Chain A
């Protein structure tokens, strides 16, 4: 499972060739301080420091608490019931002897449930096209800015952004601001114009200017708005016409505060545009994002990235073990 950027993104290049250039001493110190802060933020967000054992004994009350914990994390009743049942069976069968065993086994089961499908993102295309989709306000545009920055910083890739949200007021200006922060090129069109055309132009431009990766923003839409979902399918078709096999990656943003409706979102977006991965955003709050587990289990779509804040740096490769620990952290 990917933990580092190099493990998440498949570039086919030797690691040394992509190492970012030396930074001036001054900026580097700033960068490391920032990195340290962010690591502790990640740890906070993901609760990597778990107490030795959340559960003391193996009794009914413990199982009740376990159930409660999973429900609070938005894992959902069906997935929760499945996990609790399995643990109860194992406890009855004698394979679990203590509260510690239970904690360990639960973490294993949760991580196992989160681990599904193809977990990497292949960047060996020329250019690699990434399509970003999701419900309004879930963090598409912000995530695009963050991905662009990391691809450049960590992997030395040159990225072009496509302002495909031609609908929401000031959406283009918002992406422009991110492009500037991340130091990426951007392709945009007038408000109200056809998002498919923007995607088409962006891919042409990337080819002409030699960019490695194109990330296409789209307007937020509810999965229940059929005409908007049709529009999204059309954008995808236009991309595929321009470049067979593209988009190479279609990422769906899911807000970690989302409840059981997240499953519907994933289901319908996958039906429409064949989602290949989830970006679980806003994990810096108190929500645990357990719906991502239900999505992984029911639909086999893996989480690939997590959002842990509003700054460029606040994006991480998803790690199932950390995620599992965070869910049962009290």
Chain B
């Protein structure tokens, strides 16, 4: 649906290549393309206008670096500027020297506050903090139940008093409890509210006044459109939030709202929420978001995710095996499992620049992966190390053991041998073509 910006720019600027300098006309053409890309990414109209004006100034007369063509050059300037605008001098969470540190969560209905509370709690628990949650959403049916369950999963205490009391009182009471119990952190969950709902915004202001939070976090849905600006401005006035949690970033929204919010309030995006599981939560990376908004893939995230998940010793071992061409089915299974820990396979593949659009209709069937795992675990260690010995009767046994059929086993063995071929090329320093990668899958 989206044409990649870099392609569009190259189409607009293809003929400048030989001239070496960007003229005003070139830049105007480029800015039109950029404007469209940003609007498609849901960056606020006003922000787009201001941004393109700034970038235009910088791009005018800029030298075209030798290694880049003019289209790439403009992309680079835009991406640098975007990164700067989105990152800037953001601050981290502030921890109070006198615990508990109080964190107040706010946002529209359905933006993902309760889930974010659980994720943040888990994240802080991993840093060794003793975390408690306060259940102050007394309006949405079963919101308290939800927080209680999420809190239990995150290993955090939940202070709740049902739905009968004023949320301002509950917040204050929870703070007293957290103090008495010696918690390090208290995270206050609040009801979702519209920024124009005077009564509820006033209630939020009262919670703020009563609990004096060290950090106020606004949860913003990554799919939000032009309205993000109105929402953020109003919440900034009422609750003076310190930072943003961007939720549902695991989807395919380009997330221009992040830029809008940052541009109009000056508040940094601190965390990104990237899935429904509690560990799908990470620090926000402005540079990656800039690239995502521009539709340029997200190589860095991919690399980092892989690094996080992959045990280093294992990685070295794997590299050795690939180099010596001793990569067996056991290793393959291991890789599959590592990969799956990184998240749904399709979303990972989509982060690879250029692949996102090519992927289009390719679907990675997660159940297929389960089948593969079942087949491999039904093999003997010897068979896994050396699939060449898999004769007909062995294959039949494996098919039965794994609850699949011989055809599936044959297919896996064939795919594996294709993959070994690709690896051989990799180890010899040749990049496999996409076509090969797709077949190797």
Contact = CB atoms under 8 A, between A and B. Distances in A.
Interface of A: 68, 71-74, 76-77, 135-139, 167-171, 173-174, 176-178, 222-227, 230, 255, 257-264, 267, 282, 284-287, 290-291, 310
Contacts of A173: 141-142, 145
B252 A264 contact: yes
B146 A260 contact: no
Contacts of A310: 109, 139-140
Interface stretch (B282-290, B300-308, B326-334, B362-370): B362-370
B346 interface: yes
A227 B1 contact: no
B45 A136 contact: no
B363 A259 contact: no
Contact of A137 (B109, B195, B257, B364): B109
B365 A226 contact: yes
B100 to A, nearest CB: 24
A38 to B, nearest CB: 15
A168 to B, nearest CB: 7
Interface stretch (B14-22, B218-226, B404-412): B218-226
6 contacts: A74-B226, A257-B228, A259-B253, A261-B223, A282-B109, A286-B196
Contact of B225 (A77, A222, A257): A257
A267 B252 CA distance: 13
B77 interface: no
A226 B344 contact: yes
B205 interface: no
Given A77-B39, A137-B109, A177-B141, A259 B344 contact: no
A73 B139 contact: no
B150 interface: yes
Q: Which of A139, A223, A226 has the most CB of B within 10 A?
A: A226
B440 to A, nearest CB: 19
Q: Which 3 A-B pairs have the closest CB atoms?
A: A259-B225, A137-B110, A259-B42
B234 to A, nearest CB: 9
B92 interface: no
Interface of B: 1, 36, 39-42, 45, 108-112, 139-143, 145-146, 148-150, 153, 194-196, 221, 223-228, 230-231, 248, 250-254, 256-257, 276, 344, 346-347, 350, 363-367
Q: Which of B143, B196, B276, B364 has the most CB of A within 10 A?
A: B276
Contacts of A223: 251-252
A286 B346 contact: no
Contacts of B228: 257
Contacts of A267: 1
B363 A285 contact: no
A16 B143 CA distance: 40
A136 B248 contact: yes
Given A169-B149, A226-B365, A310-B109, A260 B194 contact: no
Given A224-B346, A261-B252, A72 B1 contact: no
Q: Which of B40, B142, B231 has the most CB of A within 10 A?
A: B142
Contacts of B146: 168-171, 174
Contacts of B108: 257, 282, 285
Nearest to A285: B194
Given A77-B39, A169-B150, A261-B252, A135 B223 contact: yes
B41 A260 contact: yes
Contact of A258 (B39, B141, B224): B224
B367 A227 contact: yes
A72 B195 contact: no
A128 B55 CA distance: 56
B250 to A, nearest CB: 6
B226 A259 contact: yes
A178 B140 CA distance: 10
Given A137-B110, A259-B253, A259-B257, A174 B221 contact: no
